């Protein structure tokens, strides 16, 4: 099977599996885990726009995620409705991302990582200490979820489907973006920023817009997260959270469309499901990451695709060799 055909079939199977998931998943707990995977995937997709396609690795994205989650909680706590809360969350997420971008896009590489890390830590510190707004260590509790188009999303199934719709929109947005001229330009600035300038591109502005897309997806994910858990505390935006989402991106395959989703599924499954059976699940996750780095340094999705192609070519080669002797014998038989 060609790579293209395999890709289309895999996507179709994945889509059908996601839509029918509540019908075959055993139990509400696993449907909730699936919801977590989906909103974590949106977060990972957002970071992947920067880290994978833009070559700008951020270690402060949990801060943005947290700002969106806190904004939602804060607005709801102060009596505003869900639409206002969600809008505030998205706007404040984007505004913080813009600030992040202005400060951190002065550098690339290690410099960018360190500035984003520092910004993320500042936001974590604010969440922890600015008690009048964030509630400090106690965090903010939510009461209830919104009702889009009058549909209550209190049950595991309804929340799952809401998350799925948002996820599919986010996925489509990133898929369209990476094929577009702006997406190509972003990858160009990752590979040859000097050349991009010499070709007439505004490298800084391209990176800035990529940051905004990344920030929007991160904020969306933060909103879904806070509605899912009904609670936000500083723990959700510490450095570990930033590192975790980065690991999702890298383990699945940075700079690929499906990689962050596979990475998110891996991390969430080990964290939520395997941790029920295995106390040292952190160690297992570590071992998995080490294995990925050794066997598929490019990440699970591109790594599997590479092995698949290799296996296919080998099988094809064998088929060709098997048919060859027959042809020779026919030719020999002629005279």
Binding site for other proteins (CB under 8 A): 176-177, 179-185, 187-188, 191-192, 194-203, 209, 213
12 or 182: CB nearest other proteins: 182
CB of 183 to other proteins, least distance (A): 7
42 or 174: CB nearest other proteins: 174
Q: Residue 269 class from Cβ within 10 Å (0-12 exposed, 13-18 middle, 19+ buried)?
A: middle
185 or 224: CB nearest other proteins: 185
153 or 203: CB nearest other proteins: 203
Q: How many residues does the chain have?
A: 335
CB of 189 to other proteins, least distance (A): 10
User: Which residues have CB under 8 Å from 208's CB, separation 6+?
Assistant: 98, 101, 102, 105
CB of 163 to other proteins, least distance (A): 24
User: Which residues have CB under 8 Å from 61's CB, separation 6+?
Assistant: 43, 46, 47, 116, 120, 214, 218, 242, 245, 246
| Contact (CB, 8 A) for 68 and 74 | no
120 or 183: CB nearest other proteins: 183
94 or 187: CB nearest other proteins: 187
CB of 219 to other proteins, least distance (A): 18
CB of 235 to other proteins, least distance (A): 34
Q: Which of 153, 273, 175 is nearest to 224 (CA)?
A: 153
CB of 210 to other proteins, least distance (A): 9
């Amino acid at each position: 099977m060609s790579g293209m055909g395999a890709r289309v079939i895999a996507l179709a199977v994945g889509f059908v599996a996601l839509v029918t998931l509540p019908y075959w998943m055993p139990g509400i707990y696993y449907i909730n885990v699936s919801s977590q995977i989906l909103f974590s995937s949106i977060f990972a997709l957002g970071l992947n726009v920067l880290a994978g396609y833009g070559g700008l690795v951020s270690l402060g994205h949990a801060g943005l995620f947290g700002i969106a989650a806190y904004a939602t909680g804060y607005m709801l706590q102060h009596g505003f409705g869900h639409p206002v809360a969600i809008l505030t969350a998205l706007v404040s997420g984007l505004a913080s991302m813009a600030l992040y971008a202005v400060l951190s896009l002065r550098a690339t590489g290690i410099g960018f990582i360190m500035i984003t890390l520092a910004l993320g830590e500042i936001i974590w510190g604010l969440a922890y200490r600015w008690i009048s707004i964030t509630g400090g260590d106690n965090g903010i509790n939510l009461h209830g979820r919104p009702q889009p188009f009058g549909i209550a999303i209190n049950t595991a199934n309804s929340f799952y489907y809401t998350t799925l719709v948002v996820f599919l929109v986010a996925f489509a947005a990133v898929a369209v973006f990476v094929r577009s001229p702006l997406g190509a330009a972003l990858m160009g600035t990752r590979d040859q920023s000097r050349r991009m300038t010499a070709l007439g591109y505004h490298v800084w502005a391209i990176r800035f817009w990529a940051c905004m897309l990344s920030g929007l997806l991160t904020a969306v994910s933060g909103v879904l997260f806070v509605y899912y858990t009904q609670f936000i505390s500083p723990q959700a935006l510490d450095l570990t959270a930033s590192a975790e989402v980065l690991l999702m991106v890298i383990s699945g395959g940075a700079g690929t469309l499906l990689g962050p989703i596979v990475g998110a599924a891996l991390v969430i499954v080990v964290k939520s499901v395997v941790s029920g059976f295995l106390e040292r699940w952190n160690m297992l996750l570590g071992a998995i990451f080490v294995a990925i780095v050794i066997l598929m340094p490019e990440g699970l999705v591109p790594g599997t695709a590479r092995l698949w192609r290799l296996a296919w070519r080998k099988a094809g080669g064998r088929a060709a060799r098997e048919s060859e002797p027959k042809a020779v014998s026919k030719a020999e038989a002629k005279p």
